[in-house]
Amino acid sequence: MGLALAIKAHQEGDTKLAQIHYKRALDQKVVNPALYQNYGALLRNVGKEDEAIEVYHLGLTIFPDHFGILVNLANIIRIKKPVSAVSFYLRAVHTFKKDSTDINGVADCLLSLISTLRELGCHNCAYITLRDTLHCLGSKPLTYLTLLQLLDSISTHFKSFGGDYNKIDTLIPQYEQFLETLTFGADNKSLLPFYFGLASYYSSKNLSYKSQAIFERGISIIAKNLSPGSDLNDELRTQLDTHSWNYSNTLLKTQNFQLGWKLYDHGLTTPCPGRQRWQRALAKPFSINEVPLWHGENLLNKSLLLLDEQGIGDSMMFLTLIPKLFYEGAQLTLFLSPRLIPVYSRAFKKYLEKGNLKIFSYQDFTKGLLEPSSFNFQCPLGSICQYRFDHPSKFAPSVPILAADSTLTKSLLNKYSALRKINKPIIGLSWQGGGKAERISQKSIPKTELITFLSEFKDFTFLSLQYGDCTDFIKRCKRHALPLIFDPDINPLKDIDSWLSQVANCDAVLSVANTTIHGAGGLNISTLCLLSKSDDWRWLSDPKIKRSYWYPSVGIARQSKDGSWSNALSETRHWFEQGCPMPDGLQFDDIVHPAV
C-alpha cells in the first residue's frame, strides 16, 4: 500500500508526502524495482543525492540486473566518480541485451557512456562505442550531438586519440547524410543545432568554405520558416541569434574575423541567464528611432555616440581601437561606466582638449546633459569591428593607450618600496577570473598550485592586483612564506583608476584572463597570461599564437587540454628566469580570410 500511495503523491507533485510513503514501503520491504528507481529519482530531484545513491545501491542488492536502477545510479555518480559510472553503464548495456523493450533507454545509456568516456579522456573507447551505437541503433539526433561533442574533444586531445584523426572523420559522411534526411517543422525545430554544430566543427578544422555552407543552410531553414503570425517566430529568432552568436565565438577564435565580427552583433539579442538578459547588455540612452545605428558610413564631420559593453574588460579592449576613428574626422562621444571615466579622461586627454571627443555617463544622461539631436549615429563599442577592424592587421592601437595617475603612482611606489625586498622586481599577480561560480573555476588557476610554484622565486616581490575577496589566498601565501604585498586601500571593483596606478608600479604582470590583462596590456607592461583551456572568443585557439592580438605586451602560456597547468608554469618559469621580457611570438596568422 505504501508504494502505491508514494507513486500517487509523486505523480501529483507532493514530494514531501511521497517521501514519507516511499520510506514506509522500504520499511515494509516491498519487493518492486519501481520503489528504488522512483524513490532514488525523487531524492535526487530534491537535492538529497547521498540518500538517493544509498537507495539505488540497496535496490541493486535485490535487482542486480535492473536496467533503470543501474542507469540512474550511473547518472548520479557520473561527475564525482566517473570510472564507477562507466562500470554501471556497461552493466546496464549488458542487461539490456537480455531485455530489449526500451530502445530509447539504451540509446540514452550508450550516449551517456560515450560522454563519460570522452570526459575521462578515453577517446578511442568513446569512438568505438559511438561507431557501434550508430551501427546498431541507426541515425538518431542525440547520437549525432554526441558525435559533435566527441569531435570537439578529440580535436583538442589529438595525441590521446593515437594521432589517427581520420578514424573519427569517417563518421562525418554519415552525419551529413543524416542532415539530408531532416525536414523542418514545428515538431522538430530542435534539429537546427545539428547544422550549427557541424559548422563549428568544420570551422575548428579550418575548413571555412564547408563551415559557412553548413551554417548558411541552417540560416536558410530559419529564414524560410519565419512567417507573419507564426507561433514559431519568436523561438526561431531566438535560435537564429543564439546559434549565430555561438558561431561568431568559434569563428573569432579560429581567425575568421570578417564573418565572426558580423555575427558578433547577435550577442545583443541572444538570451543570457541572469539580470543582464542578453549576452551583450548595454546601457542605451536613446532608441534607434531617436539616433540611428551606425553601419559603417563615412564619419567625416559626423557625430558618433559609442556605448560601452557590459564588461569593464570588454570596454577597455574595444576602446584601444577608437583613436583610428579620429583620423576620419569623426566627432566621438563615449557613453561609459563611471568607473572608467577618470581612466579615459586621462588616456584620451588630447582628443578631449581638441574637442574631438566627449565622455558622459548614464548619470549625465539622467540629468539631461545629452540630447539625441547631438548625434548622427550611435553604435555599441563591440560592433565597430565589423566596419573598420575586421582583421587584427587593421588595428591601430598606440601603446601604451592608458596612462596612470602620476601622483598616485608615485605615492604607491613609495609605499611599496618599504614593503618589498630591496632592489627586487615587483611582479603583479592575479589568479582568479570573474563571472559565475562555474566560469570562475574554469578561468582560474588552483591557488595552492600557483603559490607552491611562486615560492621558488626568491628574487621577486609579488603584488596582488586581484579584485574581489583575496582573504584565502593571502593566508595561503603567509603559510608558504611567499612575499605578497596586498594593499587594502585599493579596491578595483570600486576604483579602477587607483588600481591602474597600482598596476603601473609593476615591473611585470602574471595573470589569468581577466580585467588585469586589459590594465597591464593597456599600460604596455610586459605581461604573461595564464590562459585556461576554456578560453573565450577574445583569444585565438591556435597554439602557435603566443601573444594577445589586442595587446602587444601580453604573452600567452596555455593550460593543457587535459587540465594540467604544468606546461604553462614551465613557460612562466622560463619567462621569470629571462627577466620577464616583452613577448615576441605570433599575435595572429598572416592569412586574411576572404569576405563572405
Of the listed ranges 20-29, 165-174, 512-521, 577-586, the least confidently predicted one is 165-174
Residues 6+ apart with CB under 8 A from 23: none
Residue 594 pLDDT grade (very low, low, confident, very high; cuts 50, 70, 90)? very low
- Confirm if 306 and 348 have CB atoms less than 8 A apart: no
Structural domain 406-577, CATH architecture: 3-Layer(aba) Sandwich (3.40)
Tell me, what amino acid is at 231? D
Secondary structure, 3-state, 456-516: CCCCCEEEECCCCCCHHHHHHHHHCCCCEECCCCCCCCCCHHHHHHHHHCCCEEEEECCHH
**CB-based burial label for 367 (10 Å; 0-12, 13-18, 19+):** exposed
- Residue 209, all three cell numbers: 568554405
Of the listed ranges 155-164, 249-258, 407-416, 510-519, the least confidently predicted one is 155-164
Of residues 48 and 305, more confidently modeled: 305
User: Measuring CA to CA, how many Å separate 107 from each of 112, 142, 350?
Assistant: 9, 9, 65
Q: What is the mean pLDDT of residues 62-84?
A: 89
Task: Please report the pLDDT score of residue 167 as a whole number.
Answer: 58
Q: What is the mean pLDDT of residues 91-109?
A: 70
| Residue 359 β-bridge partners | 334
Residue 159 pLDDT grade (very low, low, confident, very high; cuts 50, 70, 90)? very low
pTM of the model: 0.77
pLDDT more than 70, % of the chain:
86
pLDDT at 250 over 60: yes
pLDDT at 136 over 80: no
Report the SS3 class of residue 201. Answer: helix
Complete edge-to-edge strand list for the sheet that includes strand 527-531: 484-485, 461-464, 426-430, 508-512, 527-531, 554-558
Task: Please report the pLDDT score of residue 120 as a whole number.
Answer: 79
Residue 165 pLDDT grade (very low, low, confident, very high; cuts 50, 70, 90)? very low
Q: What is the mean pLDDT of residues 50-75?
A: 91
Of the listed ranges 167-181, 390-404, 406-420, 550-564, the least confidently predicted one is 167-181
Instruction: Tell me how far the alpha carbon of residue 315 is from its chain's centroid.
Output: 17
Of the listed ranges 234-238, 268-272, 492-496, 497-501, the least confidently predicted one is 234-238
One DSSP character per residue, 218-234 reads HHHHHHHH--TT-TTHH
Q: What is the mean pLDDT of residues 350-376?
A: 95
**End-to-end CA gap in the chain:** 68
pLDDT more than 90, % of the chain:
52
Element (H, E) at 15: helix 15-27
Of residues 127 and 262, more confidently modeled: 262
